[in-house]
Amino acid sequence: MARIPFEKPNINAMFDEISGNYDKLNALMTFGLYKQWRQAVVYALGDARPQRILDVATGTADMPILLANSIPSVKEIVGVDYSAEMLRIGEDKVKSERLNKTVRLLPCNAELLPFEDETFDAVTCAFGIRNFAHRERALSEMLRVLRPGGRLCILELSIPRNRLLRIGYNAYTNSVIPFLGKHVAKNEKAYQYLTRSIKAMPQYERMVAIIQSVGFTRVRFRALSGGTATLFEAMRSSSTPLIQA
């Protein structure tokens, strides 16, 4: 069935508006599972012993904080996002965790990263790639700043393949999530967008093909919690040419 395109709202303004309730809504909407999903990224990167990590679409800095506290080899994590309000909340969380010397947050566009080539040992992106206007361009930038042999981990919400799970999932995302958005975040439209953006997101093998198309190798995916989230893993090989998207 063909996917129906939809007009994206002003993403930065939308995330600024919901930033105050963002963490609370994540916990409510996922029944706390989002913490397990983020932990899967830690497991995927731990054996690589990365020292420098870039977290794209870092939001309120949950992923950099988790990585800094969980992977002993880490010396520096840079989190980037375009929402000033999300970063402001993230800065407060970084300070409360006393991670100022390890975690640095910067406002920037994921499609034009302000870093030299081959800067990072790993690049992560949790629940953000579906919001990018030009997905391949952002992925090309992630490839560019990743050193040869470096790892990519993309965590994203997804649609279960199991028919029965999908029926329940669709009912939940179409009704409960907008309800929570309206009554908790006071922004129903933002959480209606969330549901539409998940449905518009390339799923499973389609996303693998997109990641491969910009030059990543060893691309694979792993469905989490019945397919309500998916972890995509990839690598930049030593011979990978940079492809301009």
Instruction: Find, among 54, 46, 233, the residue nearest to 154 by Cα.
Output: 233
> Would you say 109 is a known binding-site residue?
yes
Q: Please tell me the predicted confidence (pLDDT) of residue 193.
A: 78
Is 110 known as a binding-site position?
Answer: yes
**Proportion of the chain above pLDDT 90, given as a percent:** 69
What integer pLDDT is reported at residue 243 of this predicted model? Answer: 55
Tokens of 240: 């990978």
Strands 229-235 and 217-224: antiparallel
Q: Is 81 known to sit in a ligand binding site? A: yes
Output the pTM of the full model: 0.89
**Across 110-114, 130-134, 147-151, least confident range:** 130-134
At 83-98, the pLDDT tens digits run: 999 999 999 999 999 9
Instruction: Give the DSSP letter string of 73-134.
Output: T--EEEEEES-HHHHHHHHHHHHHTT-TTTEEEEE--TTS--S-TT-EEEEEEES-GGG-SS
pLDDT digits (tens, 9 = 90+) for 40-79: 999 999 899 999 999 999 999 999 999 999 999 999 999 9
- The residue count of the chain comes to 245
User: In this predicted model, which residue has the larger pLDDT, 235 or 16?
Assistant: 235
Distance CA 151, CA 187 (A): 36
Question: 């105050």: which residue's tokens?
Answer: 20
Amino acid at 138: A
**Beta-sheet pairing, 229-235 with 146-157:** antiparallel
Q: What is the pLDDT of residues 205-237, one digit of tens each?
A: 999 999 999 999 999 999 999 999 999 999 999
Strand blocks (E) in the chain: 52-56, 76-81, 103-107, 120-126, 146-157, 217-224, 229-235
